[in-house]
Amino acid sequence: MKAWLILLLLAARATLAQPAQHLVLGAAEHPWERGGDGKDPTLLVNKFGVLNVIGAKAIEDTTNTPGDAVDFVHRPGWISPVFFEDDQNIAGRLLNVPNGITTTSVSVGEEVLKQLKGMVNGDHQVAFERKPSLRNPEIKTQNVMLILDFAAPMGIHRIRFYPRNTVVPTPSQPYQFDFLRGYEVWVNKTQTSALTPDLLVARQATNENPVVDLELNPQFARQVRLKSLATVPFEIDEVEIYGTGYLPQATYLSDLLDLGNRATVGPLSLTTEAVGDSIFSKLSLRVRTGNDDTPILYQQILRDVKGKVLGYKELSPSAYYALDPRERAPMEEDALNWSPWTTVVPGSLPSAPMPRRYIQFRLEISGDLYSTRQVDRLEFDYLQPPIADTLRAEVYPRLAQAEAPASFRYALRLGALGSVRGFDRLEVDTNSEARDIRAVQVNGKPVDFTVDYIRPDGFSLSFPLIKEGGTVMEFTFDLPIFRYGTTFSGRVYHRASGQVPQALEPGNVLQFAPDDQDELSDLFVAIPRKQIGNLIGQVDLRPELFTPNGDGVNDQVQIDFNLLQLLKPVPVTLDLYDLSGRRLGALFSADLGLGPAQYHWDGRLDGHLVPPGIYLWVLRVQADAFEERHSGTLGVVY
């Protein structure tokens, strides 16, 4: 064999033997402030920073913290919504909000705009003035409204305003007596509207204090409105708004992280802590994946000589912004090369398309003034090259009677567009315990396999490595169906690469039978419509007449039943009544999940044998929306 070919094979083998790589966002190597050290994120927002905007008004936000709502300092190494100390004046944030400071009844020219900004920027030489001058001897002072709009709710507890030469001495501007002689202060958590009216928090028609200092109940406010009630001239040097607590919402966007090539990404681990009562806060983790590093489409509008639109031409970002604005098509998400955002439960696999080269994360935190979530780190393992480029799988049949034993055939196909690791272990999710896993074949030939485990929630098989593109694996297993919409989802592993699985995707693999239609290929199994909705299946008592006399024969009654359709454990109670309808007590009461259940009763209630006779039993299952009951009789003889 030629030397270059040997080297090539050795290199390929070394690549496939590489262990999983580990990435931690939030650690010293990739701190939150740097976004993961990838390419800056690109997201479409409006001028206020609201996400997911499309159309002509969309602009790009390339920061990791849209709206500047994420705190990196309050707890070093962690992120959370911005936290305000009670002595922190947050009015300066208005300078970063378009139209953050406006006024009514006053024409806003360049000079007035400078004065409005001077009210919140800490410059004690500039004030908002409503005073007559030689150029403007008649000036409006009454009912002038100052509107301070943060564009998002902020926690506030104090508002202070004053003229020059009061809080901060400015002897060259001795206007300490030009204070506001009458005022109203209004706040609004959202925006002023008929459905969300402003809330009056202070009113003083005859104010005699140059420095007005208002202590409020801690609350969220997006807008603060200060209205003049006086007819005398006045000025306002500064309006100070003191924050408190956490912002109610914050979004963190990672950079576009380059995994080097297409890669299999394992479960996402998120280390978090709740601040305050966790019932008042929540955290959402979302992910998207891409084939390139540009999730936005930049396009030029192509027109004929008459201006009619002929089509669009995709450009690079730099070429797009070099165009005349009239030639730019509205920016939009690149749906061809980037997936939509999908929510991920921490500890589970991302459902975004895999394998892909680029990945981006989005953390959304919401809470109350003093309750929120803090995030320490986000981490995951990934395999590059991936386990496979595609993993299509299906189950047959796709309709089965509830509670009845059924045999299912399962098949999956490995797709490879380049170098892949392959897989030698499979996990399949079930909602009851599988039986008799058999007939494991690869490309129609039997192979040796090992059953790693069988549990009520699934089973696992190991077998020789499968890594050639187009290879089909199939097998058969038995189990009863207890839920409408049972999905036999699964994932595969390359054991030598560690615990980094790649999920199976529903799709056509085999023609199982003449009636097996390709377009119906899926991992989903339904039950007949007449069985949909029942929570309790068959209930069986053996024997119906029993003799709890201690002779070892028929001393107990065995009660078997199946619970159907449940997504989580729910309260299940078996009560005993006499024939007059009087409740005697509960034989058992417990939270049970989907599948078969069994209980043995020895004829005793509260430690004492019940008298001989015929009794009525009532089995109750309490779901979220309704309660289902089944009843029958049993006899006690001794």
**pLDDT of 156-194, one tens digit each?**
999 999 999 999 999 999 999 999 999 999 999 988 777
Higher-pLDDT residue of 459 and 565 is 459
Q: What is the pLDDT of residues 554-612, one digit of tens each?
A: 999 999 888 877 778 899 999 999 888 889 999 989 999 888 889 999 999 988 999 99
Query: Poorest-confidence range of 359-368, 454-463, 480-489?
Result: 480-489
Q: How close are the terminal C-alpha atoms of the chain, in Å?
A: 88
Kindly state the percentage of the chain with pLDDT values over 90. Answer: 71
Q: What is the pLDDT of residues 397-406, one digit of tens each?
A: 988 877 778 8
φ, ψ for residue 67, nearest 5 deg = 80, 5
Provide the pLDDT for residue 635.
92
Q: Quick one: which of 431, 452, 422 has its CA closest to 440?
A: 452
Q: Is 355 helix (H, G, I), strand (E, B) or coil?
A: coil
Measured distance CA(527)–CA(22) in Å, rounded = 42
Question: Mean pLDDT over residues 617-621, rounded?
Answer: 92
Measured distance CA(333)–CA(335) in Å, rounded = 6
Name the strand (E) or helix (H) holding 118.
helix 110-118
Total-model pTM: 0.81
Provide the pLDDT for residue 6.
43
Higher-pLDDT residue of 422 and 630 is 422
- Identify whether the C-beta of residue 360 lies closer than 8 Å to the C-beta of residue 295: yes
List the domains of the chain with CATH numbers: 21-81+250-295+334-383 (2.60.120), 86-243 (2.60.120.260), 390-530 (2.60.40.740), 536-636 (2.60.40.4070)
Q: What is the DSSP letter of 119?
A: T
- Identify whether the C-beta of residue 181 lies closer than 8 Å to the C-beta of residue 230: yes
Q: Tokens representing 564?
A: 């159907």
Kindly write down the DSSP assignment for every residue of 203-270, as one continuous string: EESS---SSEEEEEEEEEEEEEEEEE--SS-EEESEEEEEE-EE-SEEEEE--BEEEEEEEEE---EE
Provide the pLDDT for residue 158.
98
Question: Mean pLDDT over residues 110-121, rounded?
Answer: 94
Residue with structure tokens 């080269």?
A: 357
The confidence band for 485, taking pLDDT boundaries of 50, 70 and 90, is: low
Provide the pLDDT for residue 4.
45
Distances 161 to 245, 317, 349, 385, 501 between C-alpha atoms, Å: 22, 45, 53, 62, 60
Determine the distance from the C-alpha atom of residue 392 to the mean position of all C-alpha atoms in its chain, rounded to a whole number.
26
Preceding peptide of 295 cis, ω within 30°:
no
Distances 349 to 25, 36, 123, 588 between C-alpha atoms, Å: 17, 20, 52, 38
The confidence band for 322, taking pLDDT boundaries of 50, 70 and 90, is: very high
Measured distance CA(91)–CA(96) in Å, rounded = 10
Measured distance CA(38)–CA(15) in Å, rounded = 23
Provide the pairing of β-strand 296-297 with 405-415.
unpaired
Whether residue 10 has pLDDT greater than 60: no
Question: Mean pLDDT over residues 333-345, rounded?
Answer: 94
Q: Residue 458: what residue type?
A: G
φ, ψ for residue 462, nearest 5 deg = -120, 150
- Identify whether the C-beta of residue 17 lies closer than 8 Å to the C-beta of residue 496: yes
Q: What is the pLDDT of residues 353-374, one digit of tens each?
A: 999 999 999 999 999 999 999 9
Provide the pLDDT for residue 524.
86
Whether residue 114 has pLDDT greater than 70: yes
Query: Poorest-confidence range of 39-48, 205-214, 547-556?
Result: 39-48
Provide the pLDDT for residue 516.
84
- Identify whether the C-beta of residue 471 lies closer than 8 Å to the C-beta of residue 463: no
Determine the distance from the C-alpha atom of residue 433 to the mean position of all C-alpha atoms in its chain, rounded to a whole number.
31
- Share the mean pLDDT of the chain: 90
SS3 for 471-519 is: CEEEEEEEEEECCCCEECCEEEECHHHCCCCEECEECCCCCCCCCCCHH
Q: What is the pLDDT of residues 282-304, one digit of tens each?
A: 999 999 999 999 999 999 999 99
- Identify whether the C-beta of residue 114 lies closer than 8 Å to the C-beta of residue 126: yes
Going 547 to 552 to 556 to 559, the CA torsion angle's sign is negative
Kindly state the percentage of the chain with pLDDT values over 70. Answer: 94
Question: Mean pLDDT over residues 492-516, rounded?
Answer: 93
